[in-house]
Amino acid sequence: MSDQQLFGLMAAAEEQQRLIDDLIAQLNKQRLALEAAVEKQVGYIPALGMRVGDAAAKAVDESLGKAPKAAAAAYTQAADALNNAAKDVREASGWIGWKLAGLLLGIGATAFGALYLAALVMLPSLGELQARRADAERLQVRVEELEKRGGRIEYSTCGKAKRLCIKVDKSTTYQDNYMIPAGY
């Protein structure tokens, strides 16, 4: 893998990390807004209790003299307000759950994609592996042939002129200015 490809992968990973950080920051802002909305709704509950209490007191006063219908309307209005507040809280918490699930799914998909791209770049293909195995087998046969034909000769340079020389077996005879290499 070249340095350029490695830097490209690192840049892509850093960009993905930056995007993830941005998404997490946005999610935190929305979470804070939701908490504020929930607090606001929770703040309505005491006021709603006061309204219900006031409506009940008014209804009791009026029911003694006038109309139980007014009390029923006040209770209905208070119950509707409470139901609306509860519905708003449920919807907000459900929406945050979906956003979190989507964010986690996005992070997982990004990580999987980065690993897949890294594997594509770093690992050889099946064809390349088969070609390398065939080359290795061919080279092994060639090494065995060379060993049979003198491939174990030790070469070096000798003297100030650095002439080519080989290690020889001095116990053998010399013939026509050739020396028999050691081991043959």
Q: What is the pLDDT of residues 34-85, one digit of tens each?
A: 877 777 766 666 666 667 667 767 766 665 555 556 656 777 877 777 778 7
Query: Is 8 within the bounds of a domain?
Result: yes
Is residue 13 located within the same domain as residue 76? yes
As a whole number of Å, the end-to-end CA separation of the chain is 44
For residue 99, give the nearest of 163, 179, 28 by alpha carbon: 28
Q: How many domains does the chain have?
A: 2
Query: Is 38 within the bounds of a domain?
Result: yes
Domain containing 176 equals: 154-184
pTM summary value: 0.31
Query: How confident is the model at residue 66, as a pLDDT?
Result: 56
Is residue 102 located within the same domain as residue 171? no
Among 123, 142, 176, identify where a domain stops.
123
Query: Is 130 within the bounds of a domain?
Result: no
Among 123, 140, 166, identify where a domain stops.
123
Is residue 182 located within the same domain as residue 112? no
CA distance 29 to 32: 5
